[in-house]
Amino acid sequence: MNTSVAAGKCPFYGVRWPEHTTNLIDVGGEECGLDFDGHGPCSMGQQGELPDIRFCPIAERAKNFLALIADRVRVISLQRSDALSYEAWKDQVMRRSG
């Protein structure tokens, strides 16, 4: 898992969401998992802000979509052998300091 303080409080920071899957892949780095088309860096991080899903305009635009599929999303972490549910991943990310 991307445990860097720079990751802030965003479950989509440092993950990739491959097309046509419900799996988020922990890839580390600054990639935004909600940048479905370009796999680009976190826009908040690029502006010098600490990534935080609660204040992210991209997450805000995606919130209805996320609500519809959150129960089917799994996160595959580099640090674990099993996949986590999105809710478990999000809880873990939101508990860390930063």
For residues 54-75, b (16+ Cβ closer than 10 Å) or e, as one string? eebebbeebeeebeeeeeebbb
**Structural domain boundaries, residue 13:** 5-95
Instruction: For residue 88, report the phi and psi dihedrals to the nearest 5 degrees.
Output: -65, -40
Note the pLDDT of residue 1: 47
Taking only the tens of pLDDT, the chain with its 98 residues reads 454 445 679 999 999 998 889 999 999 889 999 998 888 999 999 999 999 999 999 999 999 999 999 999 999 988 888 899 999 999 989 987 65
| 3-state SS assignment for residue 44 | helix
Distance between CA 21 and CA 42 in Å, rounded?
Answer: 21
- Number of separate domains in the chain: 1
What is the reported pTM? 0.85
b/e per residue 16-45 (b: at least 16 CB within 10 A)? bbeeeeeebbbeeebbbbbbeeeeeebebb
pLDDT of residue 96: 78
CA dist 49 and 74 (Å) reads 27
